[in-house]
Structure formats: C-alpha cells, structure tokens
Chain A
Amino acid sequence: MKKVSSPQMMWRYLKQRLFFSAVWFAAAFLTVVIATILGFILINGIGAISWEFITEPPKQMMTKGGVMPAIVGTFYLTCGALLVALPLGVAAAIYLSEYAKDSMGVHTIRVLINCLAGVPSVVFGLFGLGFFVVFLGFGSSILAGSLTLGCLILPTIIAASEEAIKAVPQTFREASLALGVSKWQTIFKIVLPAAAPGLVTGSILSVGRAAGETAPIMFTAATFFTTLLPRSVFDEVMALPYHIYVLATAGTYIYETRPLQYGAVLVLITIIFAVNISAILIRIYARKNKRW
C-alpha cells in the first residue's frame, strides 16, 4: 500500500475521514433516536397491555378500563377511507398510466394531484367539517370521517397504483392487443392482475397512514368518549390517535392516566407497524414469485 506522504494529501484524506465520520454519526444518531422512541414506548406501554385493555371500554372517567371502542372506531374509519379512495384512486391511476397522452390537460391533472398530496392534514379536517359535516349535513360521523380520510389518502393511492401499473411490462399489453383483445379488456384481464401485488401494497401502506392521522378526524368523526359501539355510519366513534391526544392533553387526570396513554400509543404503533410490515412482506413475496 502506498503511503500518503505530502501534507496536502494527508489533509485531503483527513477531510474525507472527518466527512465519513459525520455521515456515520448521522446514521447512528437516527438509529439511536428511533430505538429510544420505540424502546421507551415499549417499556412503558407493555405494563398497561392486558386482555382487559384491548377488549373493554374506558371506565371511571377514563382512568381505568381499556381502549376497545377506539380500536373499533379506527378500524371502521380506515376501512371506510379505503372504500372511498381505492376504487377512485386506482381508476384515476389507470387513466394516467394507460390512456393519458403527454398533453397540457394531463400535465395539469398531475400537478394538481401533487398539490392535493401537499394539503396539510388540519386543512383536510376543516374541509371535512365545512363540507361533509355542515354543508352536506352528515354531522360528526363515521361517514364524514371516512370521506375526509379517503380524500387524504387518495393522492397516495393514485401515486402507488400508477407506479404498480407502470411496472407491468409493455410487451404484456402488446401481446394482448395483438390477439385482438380490446383495450379495456387488456386492462382488466392483463394489466390489473399483473399489477395487483403493487396495488395491494400501496393501499395497505395508505391504510397505515390513515390509521395514524388525528387532525382530519378531530372535527369530523372522533368523539371523546362513548361506551357504545357504532350502529350506523352516522354515529360518532372513538379513535385511537384522538384518544391518545385527549388523554395526554385535555383529560382531567393527565398524570393518573399516563399508563393508559402509553398503552394506547403502544397499541396504535403496533397496529400501524403490523400493517406496514404486512405490506412489505407482500411486496417481497410478489417479487420472489414474479414471472417476468
């Protein structure tokens, strides 16, 4: 190995050393931060978790009991959001990737969908309140909350679906069209089945996003406390993120309910990580079984 001799070279390598240390430090720092956050929640939250915590409603002014209605509410809201956003988002993605030409109009549609993705979550909350709750008169309800969340995840679903559809090789379409199959049949029978794993992954990831959002449901669906499970889409529900927020900031017994707060946070991130990991597993599985 050549020895570095001149002071100039030594200085250049020293700079490199310093820079590389900074880069490694950044990576280590982030790892430590996330490990601290997750470890902290796990250690403090695990004590609160019990069968009772998962299956019972809150009791005694929210200081005892569990989070079951909040889990159920979050489940309804995210399913509702997916029901709204998935068909619309996939259809829009089909248009953008299969039909759209490189025209001014299509360009505008893309830019506007990007802008929709950038709208702050609290503005979605205002929109849901002003439009669904008040203007259309749905009241604070699962319906209004699901529609609001659906609009929120729509751009994510469109982007993910478009990517999945674009990943289907062009030769598939050409082969199908060459056999005399019409365009829409090609899309339904060839393109969509081939893109299915990508579509599923994208929609699962957006479910993870919808489940954790608080601001959009604060004024459109979430309620502080109810022991009843919802009976119709016009009922208010409890939701896990909102439950955490309320317990941590607005309750009468903020310090007494700390264990419950840790428990609720642990339940929420467990749900979200489980959802995200299942999406990643599906992606890996689909890649392995890819036949092209």
Chain B
Amino acid sequence: MLSTVLPYLLSGISVGGQYALIAIGYTMVYGILRLINFAHGDVFMVAGILMVYITASGAPLYVSIPLVLVTTALIGFAIERVAYKPLRSAPRMSIMISAIGVSYTLQNLVLYITGGLNQFYPSIPFISDTVTIGTTSTRMVTIVTPILTLLLVIALVMLINHTKIGMAMRAVSKDFETSRLMGIKINSVISVTFVIGSFLAAVGSILYFTNYSTVIQTSGSMPGLKAFVAAVFGGIGSVPGAVVGAFIIGICENLIKGLDTILVKAGISTKMFGFTTFSDAFTFALLIIILIVKPTGLFGEKQTDKV
C-alpha cells in the first residue's frame, strides 16, 4: 500500500514546495497592495526561459543561477514600477486589469522570442540526479525542494519579524494610509515586496522546471493560479499560511492524479475512473469551498469591512 502511495506523496511534497515559493509572492503583494498579481505566474515562467537562454549562451551554473535570480527580481521590480505604480490611486479593478495585461504581454513576448516551441530546461547537476527512497526512485530535487523551501521561508519570516523593512511591510499591510502618514516610504516597501516575491518565484522555477524539463509561454499560468489558490487557502497575507496551503494543494493534487492506481492496487475498486482529469479542478473546488466556509483562510486575520 505504502509503496503505491509513496511516489505520489513524494512528488506532492516536492510540487507543494515549489507552489509555496510562488505563493509567497502572491500573498505578500496581496497583503500590501490588495492586488491579485496575475502576472506573477508569468514572472515564474520568464525565470524558466531566462535559465534556458543563459545556459544556452554557455554560462556555467555558478554564473547562470545567480544571474537568473537577480534578473527575475529586477523584472518583478520593473513590472511594479511600469504597470502598477501609475495606477496606485485608481480603482482596484484597474490595477487587476493592468496585471492581466502584463501577463498577456509577458506571454506574447516569450512566444515571440521562443517561436512558441517547447524549450528544454538545462539539467542541473546534483538536483537532477536520481535517488532511491525505499522502493521508489525519484530525483534529488524532490528531496531538496521541501528543505530549501522551509529554509527560505524561515529566513523570510525572520526578515519580516525582525528587521526594519519587515516592520514597515507589516505596517503597510495593516494600514496603507496611516503608515504613509508615519513616514514610511511606501514605494520602496512595495518594490522590496515585489523583488522578494520574484526572487522566490525564480528559485521555485529552477526547482519546478528541473522536474518538468520543458518551458513554454503558457507554463506559468497553471502553477501561478494554483499558488494563488494556496495563498487564499492559507489565509491571504500570511506567509506561513501560504506555505501550508501550498503543501496541502500539492499533495492532494498528486494523490488525485494517482487515485485510480491507488484504488485499484488497494483492491477497493477494479475500474479506472479517470480522476486524473480532475487534478487541476480539485484545486479550484478546494478554493471555492474555503471561500464559502472560511473566507479568511486557515491562518488569515479577520477583517471587518468599513462602509
């Protein structure tokens, strides 16, 4: 029984960690700007494409990985400056539409550059290696992801709770206007948020695409949406919530992918039901359930709407 479930569980934990790294970007931006950054999934995809092109130009790994991380962070910064900053006083719907526009632009730009073909992700030594756990053979990345994710999250929580910029972030997410009156430089706080979010998305993209091995212009949208669901599930605005939500979604999704096989092997059913089709839909079903039952998410703070 365990040997049937284990591979799905392992890939679930791995994917969960990758979703978590993306979800943090969503949750931090939402916490501060109250904006669903629809372009975040595409920033993640662009990080993948950058890795493909930088490696193809012959750069060694110790150059290409830092370069990808820094460039992606810069892209996140630039997107905020160009597309969201001019709309700061506009209605929330305008910023959201702008985010959708950025997502559309990034996808088309990558389509143009790559010609719409699948790009093969370079294999990275060590994390691409195969290891065997019990009877299951998997890639090193499966084990590295959760550990790396947890380390980064701990570092981020330390940053938020114990540094000056972290304090500013918390203040801005509590009350935008008041913190501005208190002399916090709103724009730099927002920029830092976008830089951190994009940086983590780039780390996530290295891990994710090592697993999936091809990148195309649309490969960011699904992980992006799922990571957003994870952020909502965990309570939007809360970093630990996003991480827990991402792991739950990653594991559930992969268990559903393997549900047919698991049920057959366990002798519960003899037919294949084709549940695999629903692995994506399940995430959204979960989202709708949590929105109806507990709209603030697992760890979200209760907010009252003022008239």
Are A and B bound to each other?
no
Q: Which B positions have Cβ atoms within 8 angstroms of A?
A: none
Show the binding face of A for B, using Cβ within 8 Å.
none
